[in-house]
Amino acid sequence: MSTTILVLGASGQIGTELTQKLREVYGNANVIASDIREGNEAMMNAGPFEIIDATDKKTILEVIKKYEVNQVYLLAAMLSATAEKFPQKAWDLNMSSLLAVLDLAKEKHIEQVYWPSSIAVFGETTPKNNTPQETIMEPSTVYGISKLSGEFWCKYYHDKFGVDVRSIRYPGIVSWKTKPGGGTTDYAVDIYFKAIENGTYECFLSKDTRLPMMYMADAVEATIKLMQADPNNVKIRTSYNLAAIDFTPNEIANSIQKYLPNFNITFKPDFRQKIADSWPSSIDDSAARKDWDWNHKYNLDRMTKEMITSLSAELKVM
Ligand code: AKB
């Protein structure tokens, strides 16, 4: 049977690039992009696009029927920093959208679901270095609480109703095509924009705050790889730890200075410091590497080189 995919939240940071890649793999007409508002021109022109509120189960079902969709990637979510400002809204969006899609799978309208979790499921009591797949999980943010609950909803629907739902705990994702919005790891994207535009960046985390991170190309590849894996190899039905690199604001600044020697960084930690301090510094993702052959390709310097080259061309400053 052919694969027809609906992406909910296609205009966001991950959605933009994942949708583009899915269209390359499965054909433009077989990947329906959707978001609460219109996407960028490239996305709207390349294939089908529908306006969908990801919490609106009825509209999702109408679109599933219209295009005979069999897989849903649910990427709509409120991220950590914004969720601390709007806790109820974050809980409603992050949970209602997931339960709507899981129910549609349980009712056999679709065959497979992808839903992202996050390193935010971990908390202050979690071992910080090389954080294991299974460990103490006491998240201290609303976003983390919603992701941890979501993971167990995924496992429940899988174990009880046979729903084929798959998930990854993303670290901070670095990309240049679409900026992230409202996350704690967003500094690692902002820093490249400011380095190119102004030559200087004021960082909202302290210089030695080490966090797990990943370049977008790796994140997109991992996501599609997991979704294409043989179901028998997908042994974890909460969510897989996934890792590539980890660095501090100081280290990313040093990497940028190799290409832009006059770049200058200053530090002014705000409320996001406390969130970052509650998250791991690095992640043990050996289960993903073993179960479905995950391997990252980008280290810090390779990512910096691609970010600076691509962003400079986009912003036309060099
Ligand atoms: C955030 O910072 O909230 C996200 C995440 C790590 O899930 N990027």
Protein residue closest via CA to atom 4 of ligand 1: 183
How distant, in Å, are the alpha carbons of 34, 45, 127, 246 from that of 69? 13, 20, 41, 37
Go through the domains of the chain in sequence order and give each one's CATH number. 5-172+214-241 (3.40.50.720), 175-212+245-315 (3.90.25.10)
Whole-number Å distance between alpha carbons of 275 and 290? 30
For a substitution probing ligand 1, which of 82, 170, 283 has the most ligand atoms within 8 Å of its CB? 170
- What is the Å distance from ligand 1's center to 66 Cα? 33
**212 alpha carbon – ligand 1 mean position (Å):** 10
- pLDDT on residue 318: 52
Q: Work out which ligand 1 atom sits closest to the CA atom of 182.
A: 3
Any idea what the Cα angle at residue 244 is, between residues 32 and 228, rounded to 5°?
A: 40
Q: pLDDT below 70 — which residues of the chain?
A: 317-318
pTM score of the predicted model: 0.97
Q: How far is the CA of 185 from the centre of ligand 1 (A)?
A: 6
What pLDDT sits at residue 316?
82
Residues with Cβ within 8 Å of 136's Cβ and at least 6 positions away in sequence, in order, are 123, 125, 126, 127
Residues classed as catalytic: 143
